[in-house]
């Protein structure tokens, strides 16, 4: 998968609209591509953060990420295979990185506010 395809898949992935195959290809790509991993993190954080700011709700980035992780873990739709253990491991790596970025972005958003 090239970066262009990955960039297109990121918003789909965040909306849970990716097929299993796309999901794994995207995660595999991000494993070896720091640029796309960063893009993923930014879209995840800014997408959620800005939505909340617009709607006037308070927004806790760390809480949001944890909630998202929990949802991922609890997702057991029968028609949909869970991520492979490799996929889960990659996603966990990405989310760990995202939490660090979340603190930084959180501070920035808080300052703007
Ligand atoms: Zn890439």
Q: What is the mean pLDDT of the chain?
A: 78
Helix residue spans in the chain (DSSP H): 3-14, 20-32, 34-55, 61-74, 85-112
CA gap 95, 113 in Å, rounded: 25
If one counts the domains in the chain, the total is 1
Q: Determine, yes or no, domain membership for 66.
A: yes
Instruction: Determine the distance separating the centroid of ligand 1 and the alpha carbon of 37, expressed in angstroms.
Output: 7
Q: Determine, yes or no, domain membership for 99.
A: yes
Instruction: Determine the distance separating the centroid of ligand 1 and the alpha carbon of 36, expressed in angstroms.
Output: 4
Per-residue pLDDT tens for 20-75? 899 889 988 998 999 998 898 888 877 766 666 666 666 566 676 677 667 666 65
Q: Which residue has the higher pLDDT, 11 or 99?
A: 11
61, with CB counted inside 10 A (0-12, 13-18, 19+), is buried
Q: Determine, yes or no, domain membership for 52.
A: no
Q: Determine, yes or no, domain membership for 103.
A: yes
Range of the domain at 12: 3-47+57-112
For tokens 């494993």, the residue is 31
User: Full-prediction pTM beyond 0.85?
Assistant: no
Instruction: Determine the distance separating the centroid of ligand 1 and the alpha carbon of 80, expressed in angstroms.
Output: 26
∠ CA 71-74-79, rounded to 5°: 105
């Amino acid at each position: 998968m090239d970066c262009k395809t990955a960039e297109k898949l990121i918003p789909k992935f965040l909306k849970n609209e990716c097929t299993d195959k796309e999901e794994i290809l995207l995660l595999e790509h991000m494993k070896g591509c720091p640029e796309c991993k960063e893009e993923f993190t930014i879209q995840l954080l800014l997408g959620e953060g800005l939505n909340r700011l617009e709607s006037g709700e308070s927004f806790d980035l760390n809480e949001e990420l944890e909630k998202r992780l929990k949802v991922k873990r609890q997702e057991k739709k029968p028609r949909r295979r869970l991520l492979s253990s490799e996929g889960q491991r990659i996603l966990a790596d990405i989310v760990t990185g995202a939490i660090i970025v979340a603190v930084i972005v959180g501070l920035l958003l808080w300052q703007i506010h």
